[in-house]
Every structure is written in C-alpha cells, then in structure tokens.
Chain A
Amino acid sequence: MSPTASLKTPLYKKHLAAGAKMTDFHGWTLPLQYTSMMEECKAVRKSVGLFDISHMGKVEVKGKNAFRLLQHLTTNDLSRLSEGQAQYTALVDDRGGIIDDLVVYQISRFRFFLCLNAANTEKDISWIAEFALQYPDVEVRNLTRQYGLISVQGPNSEVIIKGLGGARAAGIEYFHFMITNLAEKNVILSRTGYTGEDGFEIYCDWRDTDIVWDALMTKGKHWSIKPCGLGARDLLRLEMGYMLHGVDMDTSVTPFEAGLAWIVKLDKEGGLVAQEALTQKKTEGAARKIAGFEMNERGGLPRHGYSILADGRIVGEVTSGGMSPCTGKTVGLGYVLAEHSKPGTPIQIDIRGKAVEATVVRRPFLPSKTKKAKPAAAVSDNSGEAAAKEE
C-alpha cells in the first residue's frame, strides 16, 4: 500500500456510491470490483463494460523536435504513424530493458500524446525530460490529472458510442483516434483497449469525466452495460495474454525476451537509445522467453513468482496467472528457458510445494475480437500488431 495520501479519480464518489470494493493501485484508490470479477469479465465479452482508467499517465510531447525525441526513445517506428493514428511501443533504457510499454497518439507531426502505466508515469517523464534537454523546442507536460480516461469495451461498445453522437467516430479503425464530441463534451476518442474486444478509450477533461461516465451508463442500460473494476481488467488482459508492466516485464527484460520483437525497429533513421544493446541481443537470441501456459490439473492458481519446472528442475518463473472466466481454464504467463517456450511443451508449476502439470500454449488464450485495421500500407503497424498479439 502506498504510504502517501491516495490519489482519487474524478469518478471516485461514483464508485463508492455504486458499492464498489476499492483498492490501492500504485497510490490511486480505484475500484477492484463492483459485484464479481467473473461477472464483470463476462459482461465485457458478451456485451459491454465500462472502466475508469483515469489513473493512467497522460503526457503531451510537443514542439519541432518532438518526433525526433520520441523516435529515439521508443522502440517502434514512429515514422510509420500518421495523424489520427496510435501506436503500441516501449520505452527502453540504454541496456534495452523495458522502462514502460505505452501507446503514442500522433495528434500532429509536432504534437504527440502518450498513455503510460500509472506506476511508471513519473519515472517515464524524468527519463524523457532528461533526453529532451538535448532537443531544442520540445516541451514535455504531464497531463495525467487534466484528463479523465474511460474505457468502453465489448461487442456493443460501438452502438453506444454512436448513440452518444459519435457516429462518425464510431467508424474509426483499430488503433486510430479522433478529437470529437461525445455526450456534448470534447473528447479524444480512440479505438483501443486492453481486453481483446472491440472498444474505445475516451480521454476527456477531468471535470467532464463524470458527465461522460453517466451518459455512457445511461445509453448503455439497454445493453446491460456493467461498470468493471481492476480485477476484471486484469483477468481480461490475461485471457488475451497481454502483459502488464511491473508484473510481466520490467527493466530486467528486453523486448525480445518479452515477446515484443514486433515493436522493435532497429533500422529506423536516427537510431534508438538502446541501438547497440538491442542489436547485440537480437543477434545473440533470447535465452529466456515469455510463454503462455495452461494448467492441466486442478491445484490452485499459478501466481507471480512461483517456479516453473521441467523434469523437477527450475526452468522459469510465473509472472501472471488466473482462471479465465470465459473458459474456466487456469492460465498464466511466465519466463522460461527458450528451449521450453514452444507451444505443446509440458511443464509444471510449483504451487505451494506441489508440482502441478501444465502445458505451454499459444497466446491469446481466447480469440481476440478487436476491430482489425485495414491491410493498407499506412496502417501496417496495426495489422502487424494484431497478428503478433495473436501468435
């Protein structure tokens, strides 16, 4: 638990009034669950769910050299992005360790918007600001507490967005966004999410967040929209095999080990902050790799830090685990020695001293239903991303 006074999102009072169970998340007081994590997950898969993720870090980088700065610090190739597009990428340190994973929004060639993990925001900003000194005309601003952020996820999210006046925006492609009006408020509407379902993330003025939330709840009633907590958010991302920074990756792993080779572009102009380190790691090949696995017998949940065994020998460590509400299967993620990372490989998880049988499987654990980007050259990043996430 955070020793400092806790931070509250603009929806804090609404969560309490709705009877949510609250929890501390890196200094923020957020809903863990409203009714049941399982029910909340199922609502998102079947119809639609609503998440308050206003705690996410929001940073604006603008100026003549904003592009050059971000191109140097992030692993993906920013030159493939155009206005109105978003890109999944990573910040790495000079050894190639993952400082954070993030989404970069290109508002214009001179203005970018970053969505960062709450736990890393301060650290990310200092890292970026340190390099910004070498680039004239770049401004880095922390807008975390100026924008609320609501995520609407599930197959019925599009119809709700349309119903709130976002008809034009409801047509945007996956990993694209638009600055538009929704429920008569000015928002950034982005077709992104962390659930593997079609959905939108809505950035709005901090003071408008409760109005947008209420409008979504009211419009969503017909589709039995459910407010969801962090518990459901974590299970939904796990079902997709998506990683969580600080849990499944940190500065001790490179993007190659974390299965993120698809967002590392070493051939871009100007080079990457970790150009040398990552080029060498790429040549060497990763000795350990992240793998998804499925439990074959009952014996409890694989949890962060549990050992992964093969023939009685420790060959890795679990980073995330849980029971998929949709399939009832118990699944997890963990790092294993590369020779044990192929789908089909039998492994065991040491659950409180018992070796419980599991098998390495392909991710996602459930098929992804995000809206697919058009297979045009301009959006090749996104289709590459969708494909890579489904590997």
Chain B
Amino acid sequence: MEFPKDLKYSKEHEWVRVEDGDTAIIGITDFAQDELGDIVFVEAPKVGRDLKAGESFGVAESVKTVSDLYSPVAGQVIEVNPELEGSPELVNESPFDKGWIIKLKMEDPKELENLLSAQDYRNLAQKG
C-alpha cells in the first residue's frame, strides 16, 4: 500500500497535491480504493462550483458500496478528470496519478496545514 510523502491527506481518505502554489489536485488514497474495491462510477461536481473545506463534492461508487467524497480544502472547481466517466477503474489502478478526481483553485492555501502528513495518515489508515 502506497502513502506518497509529497501529498497531504484528509481523515476521510482524500489526498491533495499542490501545483502552482494554489491549485489543489484531489483524489482518493490507495487505502480508500482498496477498501472500496472495484470502482464503477465517480460522480464529480461541475467546473465552477465553490466548495467549502469538508464539503461533499461527489461520490465514488464501487460494486460493494457508495462512498461520499469530501473536499479537504475550500476552493473553486477548475477541472474534473475527464477520463473517469469512461474509465472509473483508473481510481483503482492509479489512485495518486491517472485516477485524480478534481482540481481546485484554493481559497486559502494555509488550510493545507490542517491536513495530515503521509506518516500521520498511514498511522490512521493502518490503525483500521
């Protein structure tokens, strides 16, 4: 199970990668995709939607269950991964790369400080 060190994590099993200072790329973790099992549908928000930190922005649906997705930080949706509509399995196959879900223009990059480090998240995930 991977826990890339350069990412920030939420307790709800999302990860954030920061690009260009204030763009947050968001997806679900390797641990989360493994727990969900085969993902068959990802419901993502429309570009332009404003999200609060902790707000539900969509769902990841696997054969087994439906799981809400929560935005770890506040911001406006600037891009949604176009590949996921046709290939939701990318979230299973490449959770930290090809399976990213949305990009946000962050309201306040300082919010990232409230998130977990890779080590803290690993501890949380492995505690079960």
**Cβ contact within 8 Å between B66 and A235:** no
A33 touches B37 (CB 8 A): yes
Q: Is A36 an interface residue (CB 8 A)?
A: yes
Minimum CB–CB distance from B106 to chain A (whole Å) comes to 28
A1 to chain B, nearest CB (A): 14
Tell me how far the C-beta of B88 lies from the nearest C-beta in chain A, rounded to whole angstroms: 9
CB-CB under 8 A from B66, the residues of chain A are 300-301, 303, 352
With A231-B64, A301-B61, A303-B66 known as contacts, the answer to whether A36 contacts B37 (CB < 8 A) is yes
Residues of B within 8 A of A352 (CB): 59, 66
> Is the pair A322, B63 in contact by a Cβ cutoff of 8 Å?
yes
- Interface residues of B, CB < 8 Å — how many? 13
The secondary structure that dominates the A interface is mixed
Say if the beta carbon of B40 comes within 8 Å of chain A. yes
By the criterion CB–CB under 8 Å, are B63 and A235 in contact?
A: yes
Quick check: A37 and B63 within 8 Å, CB to CB? Answer: yes
Interface residue from A21, A33, A235, A301 paired with B41 (Cβ < 8 Å): A301
Judge if A298 is at the interface, Cβ distance under 8 Å: yes
CB-defined interface of A314-333 with B at 8 Å, one 1/0 digit per residue? 00000000110000001000
Closest to A229 in B: B37
Please tell me which one of the listed residues B38, B43, B85 contacts residue A38 in the complex, with CB atoms under 8 A apart. Answer: B38
B23-81 contacts to A (CB < 8 Å): 37-38, 40-41, 43, 59, 61, 63-64, 66
Count, A-B residue pairs, CB within 8 A: 38
Pair B37/A300 contact, Cβ less than 8 Å:
no
- A interface residue count range (under 10 / 10 to 19 / 20 to 34 / 35 or more): 10 to 19
Q: Point out which of B61, B85, B89, B92 has the most chain A C-beta atoms below 10 A from its C-beta.
A: B61
Question: Chain A contacts of B61 at CB under 8 A?
Answer: 300-301
Whole-angstrom CA separation of A325 from B33 in the bound complex: 18
Q: Which residue on B lies nearest to A38, using beta carbons?
A: B38
Mask: chain A, 287-315; 1 = CB below 8 Å from B; 0 = not:
00000000000111101000000000000
Which residues from B are CB-within-8-Å of A235?
Answer: 63
| Cα(A323)–Cα(B92), bound, Å | 16
Q: How far is the CA of A322 from the CA of B92 in the complex (A)?
A: 17
User: Nearest Cβ distance between residue B22 and chain A, in whole angstroms?
Assistant: 32
Instruction: Give the docked Cα–Cα distance between A338 and B64 (Å).
Output: 30
Assess whether B85 is in contact with A37, with CB atoms less than 8 Å apart: no
Evaluate contact between B85 and A323: CB separation under 8 angstroms. Answer: no
**CB closest residue in chain B, given A325:** B38
B43 to chain A minimum Cβ distance, whole angstroms, is: 7
Contact B37 A298 (CB under 8 A): no
Contact yes or no, A298 B63, CB < 8 A: no
Q: In the complex, what's the smallest C-beta–C-beta distance from A383 to chain B, in angstroms?
A: 33
A36 / chain B contacts, CB cutoff of 8 Å: 37-38, 92
Q: How far is the CB of A20 from chain B (nearest CB, A)?
A: 12
Q: What's the Cα separation between A231 and B63 when bound, in Å?
A: 8
- 8 Å CB contact of A298 from B59, B64, B85, B89: B85
- Which A residues touch B64, using CB under 8 A? 32, 231
Q: Mark A36-49, 1 if CB is under 8 A from B, else 0.
A: 11100000000000
A230 to chain B, nearest CB (A): 10
- Minimum distance in angstroms from A237 CB to a CB of chain B: 13
Instruction: Provide the residues of chain B in CB contact with A32, threshold 8 Å.
Output: 37, 64
A299 to B41 alpha-carbon distance, docked (Å): 7
Contacts of A301 in B (CB 8 A): 40-41, 61, 63, 66
CB contacts (< 8 Å) of A37 on chain B: these are: 37-38, 63
Q: Are B37 and A231 touching (Cβ within 8 A)?
A: yes
Chain B residue with Cβ nearest A323: B40
Other 11 A-B pairs with CB < 8 A, given A301-B41, A301-B61, A352-B59: A33-B37, A37-B37, A37-B63, A235-B63, A298-B41, A300-B41, A300-B43, A301-B40, A301-B66, A322-B63, A323-B40
Q: 7 closest A-B pairs (Cβ-Cβ)?
A: A323-B40, A300-B41, A38-B38, A300-B61, A37-B63, A37-B38, A36-B38
Chain B contact residues, CB within 8 Å of chain A: 37-38, 40-41, 43, 59, 61, 63-64, 66, 85, 89, 92
Chain A positions within 8 Å of B, measured between CB atoms, are 21, 32-33, 36-38, 231, 235, 298-301, 303, 322-323, 330, 352
